[in-house]
Structure 1
Amino acid sequence: MEGTPDLYPSRVNGKETLSPRLDPVVYGGAQPEVPHSLSQRDLDTFDRQGFLVMNDYMPEMVAPLKREITRLRDDMAGYEELYTEPDSDELRTIFKPFAYSDLIDRFSRDPRILNKVRQILGSDAYLMQSRVNIKPAFKGKSFPWHSDFETWHVEDGMPRMRAVTVWLMLTDNTEHNGPLYVIPGSHHHYASCEGNTGEKNYQQSLKKQMLGVPKPETMEALLDDKGIASVTGQAGTLVFHDCNLMHGSPDNIANDPRSILMFVYNSVENKPVTPFSGLPLRPHYLSNPDQRPLQAVESLWPLAS
Structure 2
Amino acid sequence: MTIMDTRVDDGYPTRITGTPEHLPRVHPTVWGTEADGPIDAATLANHDAKGYTVVDGLLSPGEVQTYWQEVVRLSSDESLRDDERVITESRTGEVRSIFDVHEISGLIAELIRDPRVLDRARQILGSDVYIHQSRINYMPGFKGTGFYWHSDFETWHAEDGMPSPRAVSCSIALTDNYPYNGGLMVMPGSQRTFVQCVGETPDANYKSSLKDQRVGVPSPDDITKLAADYSIDQFTGSAGSALWFDSNIMHGSSNNITPYPRSNIFLVFNSVENALQEPFAAGERRPSFIAGRNPAPIAR
TM alignment of 1:1-305, pairs within 5 A: 5-31=9-35, 34=37, 37-59=38-60, 60-73=62-75, 74=77, 75-296=79-300
Aligned partner of 1:72: which letter? L
User: 8 Å contact 1:161–1:244 — kept in the other structure?
Assistant: yes
Q: Deviations over 1:190-240 (max 9, x none)?
A: 000111100111111110111111111111221113211110110000110
Runs (5+) with no aligned partner, structure 1: 297-305
The separation in 2 between residues aligned to 1:211 and 1:99, in whole angstroms, is 28
User: CA offset at residue 12 of structure 1?
Assistant: 2.2
Aligned partner of 1:135: which letter? M
User: CA offset at residue 53 of structure 1?
Assistant: 0.5
Check 1:168–1:4 CA distance in 2 against 1; reply closer, same or farther (3 A cut): farther
User: 8 Å contact 1:81–1:95 — kept in the other structure?
Assistant: yes
Query: For residue 302 of structure 1, what is the aligned residue in structure 2?
Result: none
Aligned partner of 1:41: which letter? A
Q: Could you say which structure has the higher helix fraction?
A: 2
Query: Aligned with 1:31: secondary structure?
Result: helix
The separation in 1 between residues aligned to 2:104 and 2:58, in whole angstroms, is 25
Deviation above 3 Å: which 4+ runs of structure 1?
Answer: none
Q: Deviations over 1:38-78 (max 9, x none)?
A: 00011011101111001122123211111122222214222
Which moved further from structure 2: 23-32 or 153-162?
23-32
Identical aligned residues as a percent:
41
The separation in 2 between residues aligned to 1:292 and 1:114, in whole angstroms, is 14
Query: Aligned with 1:194: secondary structure?
Result: coil
User: 8 Å contact 1:141–1:250 — kept in the other structure?
Assistant: yes
Query: Aligned with 2:35: secondary structure?
Result: coil
The separation in 2 between residues aligned to 1:13 and 1:40, in whole angstroms, is 42
Instruction: Report the TM-score, using the length of structure 2 for normalisation.
Output: 0.94
Aligned partner of 1:143: which letter? F
Query: For residue 300 of structure 1, what is the aligned residue in structure 2?
Result: none
User: CA offset at residue 26 of structure 1?
Assistant: 0.5
Aligned residues: 292
Which moved further from structure 2: 226-235 or 215-224?
215-224
Runs (5+) with no aligned partner, structure 2: 1-5
User: CA offset at residue 182 of structure 1?
Assistant: 0.5
Query: Aligned with 1:224: secondary structure?
Result: helix
The separation in 2 between residues aligned to 1:114 and 1:31, in whole angstroms, is 15
Query: For residue 3 of structure 2, what is the aligned residue in structure 1?
Result: none
User: 8 Å contact 1:135–1:259 — kept in the other structure?
Assistant: yes
The separation in 2 between residues aligned to 1:257 and 1:201, in whole angstroms, is 28
User: CA offset at residue 273 of structure 1?
Assistant: 0.3
Query: Aligned with 1:240: secondary structure?
Result: strand
Aligned partner of 2:35: which letter? Q
User: 8 Å contact 1:90–1:136 — kept in the other structure?
Assistant: no
User: 8 Å contact 1:129–1:288 — kept in the other structure?
Assistant: yes
